[in-house]
Amino acid sequence: MIIAVDGPAASGKGTIAKALGRHYDLPVLDTGLLYRAVGLSVLKAGGDPDHEADALSACSFADAILSDPALRSEAVGSLASRVSVHQNVRDALIQRQRDFATQPGGAILDGRDIGTVIAPDADAKIFVTASVKVRAERRFQDALNHGGHPDMDSLVADIQARDTRDMSRDHAPLKQAEGADLLDTSDLTIDAAVQRAIALVDAQLEGHP
């Protein structure tokens, strides 16, 4: 069984994917981490993330980078978004994601193009979203909790820039996949969003026994 969870930055898709993993006892792949690893590798190599050849050469990153805490920063998220526009970068990462998706017993993947490109035949698909204001507030709170000094205006601008790039790129743009249920988490607690996600997945699974 494959469950696809897509959505924009800070929508709650990662939290929901992990909770679904616990509920259905399935492994979860945060595919954004792969793009973040490419972004961070380009930076470390002194390359240009907007330059296709530089971004492609960063795709052969060592797996150790996947546990680097630097991957979680907003700066690396933005680099990831920039390298992810290149088709050859997406191609270089596709097999790894498909292998994870098709492992025996099933899997959950979260990202931007899981339901559209990586696993279009997934058994269940959810598109998680939330308003820009709510997503920026989540990032704000997150940064405060980690001892940071966030600036609301720049968080809103970062989220809008990332949405625009991820949704308007030529290759595998972020969009609600055919057959995906929309889950707007703007007014939901984490628990309520997870319960709603489980209900949506259960209903889709009943539809495809």
Residues of the shown chain interacting with ligand DC in the complex, contacts defined by CB under 6 A = 9, 31-32, 35-36, 77, 80-81, 84, 111-113, 162, 166
CB of 77 to ligand DC, least distance (A): 5
Interatomic CA distance for residues 204 and 21, integer angstroms: 16
Indicate the residue among 49 and 111 with the shorter CB distance to ligand DC.
Answer: 111
Indicate the residue among 162 and 196 with the shorter CB distance to ligand DC.
Answer: 162
Indicate the residue among 26 and 128 with the shorter CB distance to ligand DC.
Answer: 128
CB atoms within 10 A of CB 84: 28
Indicate the residue among 51 and 165 with the shorter CB distance to ligand DC.
Answer: 165
* CB contact set of 121 (below 8 Å; sequence gap of 6+): 2
Q: What's the Cα-to-Cα distance from 40 to each of 77, 92, 104, rounded to whole Å?
A: 9, 16, 31
Ramachandran quadrant class, 63 (left: phi over 0; alpha: psi -120 to 50; beta: rest): alpha
Indicate the residue among 87 and 199 with the shorter CB distance to ligand DC.
Answer: 87
What's the full length of the chain, in residues?
209
CB of 128 to ligand DC, least distance (A): 11
Give yes or no for a contact between 85 and 170, defined as CB atoms under 8 angstroms apart: yes
Indicate the residue among 167 and 199 with the shorter CB distance to ligand DC.
Answer: 167
In the DSSP assignment, the letter for residue 71 is G
Interatomic CA distance for residues 40 and 19, integer angstroms: 27
Interatomic CA distance for residues 104 and 47, integer angstroms: 38
